[in-house]
Structure 1
Amino acid sequence: MSGGADRKHRMVTRFQRHLANPLNRRLPFQTLLETTGRKSGRPRLTPVGGRRAGDSFWIVSEFGFTSQYVRNIQADPQVRVRIAGRWHRGTAHLLPDDDAVSRLRTLPRFNSAAVRAFGTDLLTVRIDLAE
């Protein structure tokens, strides 16, 4: 990451970790991604903005392979997603060859705008839902 991108990543991550994510996790209908911590083995909840399409759920990571939840997926792709208050099990797939900017056009507008504005290295993630 370049100096400016690295600084942006640190600022946005600090804001999300200490303010936005703790608040959003408490909202009953916030979409949440649950991964398994690659070091701790404990469940990790991340508020995400995405969209279900059939048996898949799509999201775009704003910091690509440096996102903590992406690193957890690399270690264990078995995840859960809370969509509209209901939990679904699934298998996450990282899709670096997908056009993440085009993918954002198919996802919820507000979240996509934030990902474009704050992101430095976009990465598409598809979760194949088991239920």
Structure 2
Amino acid sequence: MSRRPELKQRIVTRIQRHLANPLSRRLPSQTVLETTGRTSGLPRRTPVGGRRVGDSFWLVSEFGPKSQYVRNIQADPRVRVRIRGRWHSGTAHLLPDDDAVARLRSLPRLNSAAVRALGTDLLTVRVDLTG
């Protein structure tokens, strides 16, 4: 088994965690997913790309169950999503049977291209918004 996907994930995650995410999290126009840390219990905010469709917000995780925010969702699916500067509460659902590549075609083009290029284990996430 190749270690290349693991190395790719480590490099991309390190860049995102220490450079890209801290900067983009501060942009009011950036969509942000807030989960609860499974160990710390603290809010964890991750910039994401996705799209609201009715009362749901759809996104695709580039590293699937290895993503920290996906692991947080598994522990506690209650989340918040900041869309266009406004926070919405919701419940996240991991959808491993959904065709993530097809789903990316319906999401914002630039983010979808980055997820396809950098991702190693795509996973669709749907957040049912309640407020």
Fold equivalence (TM over 0.5): yes
Written as runs of structure 1 = structure 2, the 5 A alignment for 1:59-98 is 59-98=59-98
- The Cα of 1:57 is off from its aligned counterpart by 0.1
- The Cα of 1:29 is off from its aligned counterpart by 1.2
* Alpha-carbon distance in structure 2 between the residues aligned to 1:29 and 1:55: 19
- The Cα of 1:2 is off from its aligned counterpart by 3.6
Q: Which amino acid aligns with 2:122?
A: L
Secondary structure of 1:103's counterpart equals helix
- The Cα of 1:96 is off from its aligned counterpart by 0.1
In structure 1, the partner of 2:51 is 51
Q: Which amino acid aligns with 2:58?
A: W
Provide closer, same or farther for how the CA distance between residues 39 and 97 of structure 1 changes in structure 2, counting only shifts above 3 A.
Answer: same
Secondary structure of 1:124's counterpart equals strand
In structure 1, the partner of 2:12 is 12
In structure 2, the partner of 1:116 is 116
In structure 1, the partner of 2:105 is 105
Deviations 1:7-33 (A, max 9, x none): 000000000000000000110110000
Q: Which amino acid aligns with 1:100?
A: A
The total of aligned residue pairs comes to 131
- The Cα of 1:99 is off from its aligned counterpart by 0.1
* Alpha-carbon distance in structure 1 between the residues aligned to 2:26 and 2:85: 11
CA RMSD of aligned residues (A): 0.8
- The Cα of 1:113 is off from its aligned counterpart by 0.2
In structure 1, the partner of 2:40 is 40
* Alpha-carbon distance in structure 2 between the residues aligned to 1:2 and 1:30: 34
Secondary structure of 1:11's counterpart equals helix
TM-score w.r.t. the length of structure 1 is 0.99
* Alpha-carbon distance in structure 2 between the residues aligned to 1:77 and 1:93: 7
Unaligned segments of structure 1, at least 5 residues? none
Unaligned segments of structure 2, at least 5 residues? none
* Alpha-carbon distance in structure 2 between the residues aligned to 1:2 and 1:98: 25
Alignment of 1:31 onto 2:31 = yes
* Alpha-carbon distance in structure 1 between the residues aligned to 2:125 and 2:103: 10
Query: What is the identity percentage for the equivalent residue pairs of Structure 1 and Structure 2?
Result: 79
* Alpha-carbon distance in structure 2 between the residues aligned to 1:67 and 1:2: 19
